[in-house]
Amino acid sequence: MTNTPFDGDLSYPASTIARLTAIIELAPMAIVMIDNQGRILLMNKEAEVLFGYRRDELLGRPVELLIPLEFQAGHPALRRNFFTNPRPRRMGAGRDLFGLRKDGSKFPVEIGLNPIETEDSLFVLSAIVDITERKRLENLFRATVESAPTAMVMIDKGGSIVIVNAETEKLFGYSRSELLGRHVEELIPERFRMAHPQMRTRFFAAPEARRMGIGRDLFGLRKDGSEFPVEIGLNPIETEEGLFVLSAIVDITERKRLETALRQTNELLEQRVQQRTVELTAQAEKLRRSNEALERSNIELQQFAYIASHDLQSPLRSISGFVQLLRAEYTGRLDAQADDWIARTVQSIQLMHTLIQDLLAYSRIESLARPLKRLRFRDIFNDAVSLLDAAITEAGAQVTCDELPVVIGDRSQLVQLLHNLIGNALKYHGADAPRVHVSAEHRGNDWVFSVSDNGVGIEPQYYEKIFEIFQRLHNQQEYPGTGIGLAVCRRVVHRHGGKIWVESVRCQGSQFYFTLPERTEYDT
């Protein structure tokens, strides 16, 4: 059925109606056009589906038929006001709107009004969207915030509180009604309030998920006037109504107490260590200097190992667990954007875990070094290929070698060296299946090894850069990685007294070379 001009007392030219009909029928949402009397002149198929009426049941009828009874009386005045000052805008900004179906059911809507002025008259074209699903997701979001185990506070750009949960009421001692609409600065000790609006403005200007107040102590203020230390995570929430910030607030009073106790213990231990160091210094200057150098090295290694294994990996495992649960429970139940965010979070966690492991491997080249021994390099090749068996099979790759010599070296480190070089060749392959070949030749006092491939190649200006830590030539979407593998290779080769370099032609493959000195003594 097509739109046709109403044949009663409506006398709008058929040409005007026909031009608009062709436009609105293609629209992906419900479209209804009315005149200044509120009569429906046009509607599209989507409007029939949304409201449950046939077109001939509505054309020429008052638009109030599509509005719930409790709102019908006030609508004509609102319509007249719009025709007096016509301009494109959302209808009912700041309040909930509802549509009324033929079967009497109500549903939440969002309506955009657009005046259309012709040589004949002024019309209003209304685009109507059913936001039932959006309302359901909003309710789900509020339920999620409410069930969070930490205090959650959402504010708008002006700093007004728009959402709090039960944990917030417990933490700050206010009832929900006392907090909603008030400025968030009322939850901050007075000595910090003056500076906070400026910091809030800076955050809204460049929003990103992060901790608040990195590097300084933060405090909350309860209703009873007491202060307590807090840790706050800021998360920007973009909505059609604007940008909001959701803050997760954790009372860290107990953590601060433990940190103070730990610091005091460390200070006491440090005093005892210093006292003992002074006593040892009196024994021998040479021994003192040696011990100081060893102590500095050990402290640096201990600090790195602690950070990598505890401060990074422990919370990372916790985050990974929660995100995996979120993906298992809610994938497909939220919108596509939420599923994409969850997937990206999982990928980022996996990348962070790989980066930590690579950093540990890089740092341990010297600290976990073993004595150099006589080794068959063919055994090294076999071990590396065995570790890469799944990747080789998946890529349909061919990995071969020539006759390889006996060398002097650290077995585990040489396996890691060859594993990284062959693994890179498998990763950065071109359109053809990867082909990797390992060979060696004797030059002077060195064995020169070559790992060649048919991959994407490397431009000359990057020959040195690729061996530096964290230096990558491709983004994560093209070729995942951490930019540490070749830095590990260079460090292993240097530890064995050799050097490493690359020769390559863009899109024609690469040849990585490294040398291992021919030694007579090797138990070092």
pLDDT at 95: 75
Q: What is the pLDDT of residue 255?
A: 87
- Count the neighbouring beta carbons within 10 Å of the beta carbon of residue 150: 16
CB environment 92-117: b (16+ within 10 A), e (fewer): eeeeebebbeeeeeeebbbbebeeee
pLDDT reported for residue 337: 82
Question: In this predicted structure, what is the pLDDT of residue 522?
Answer: 41
Instruction: Name, in order, each residue with C-beta under 8 angstroms of 207's C-beta and a sequence gap of 6 or more.
Output: 236, 243, 245
Q: Residues with Cβ < 8 Å from 475, sequence gap 6 or more?
A: none
Q: How many other CB atoms are there within 10 angstroms of residue 204's CB atom?
A: 17
Task: Please identify every stretch of the chain with a pLDDT value under 70, giving residue numbers as ranges.
Answer: 1-20, 92-94, 213, 284, 287-318, 347-370, 469-483, 519-524
Distances in whole angstroms, Cα of residue 250 to Cα of each of 178, 218, 234, 472, 490 = 20, 11, 12, 37, 44
Which helix (H) or strand (E) is 469 found in, with range? none
pLDDT value of residue 464: 80
| pLDDT score at 28 | 87
Residue 6's pLDDT is what? 44
Which amino acid type is present at position 433? A
Q: What is the pLDDT of residue 317?
A: 67
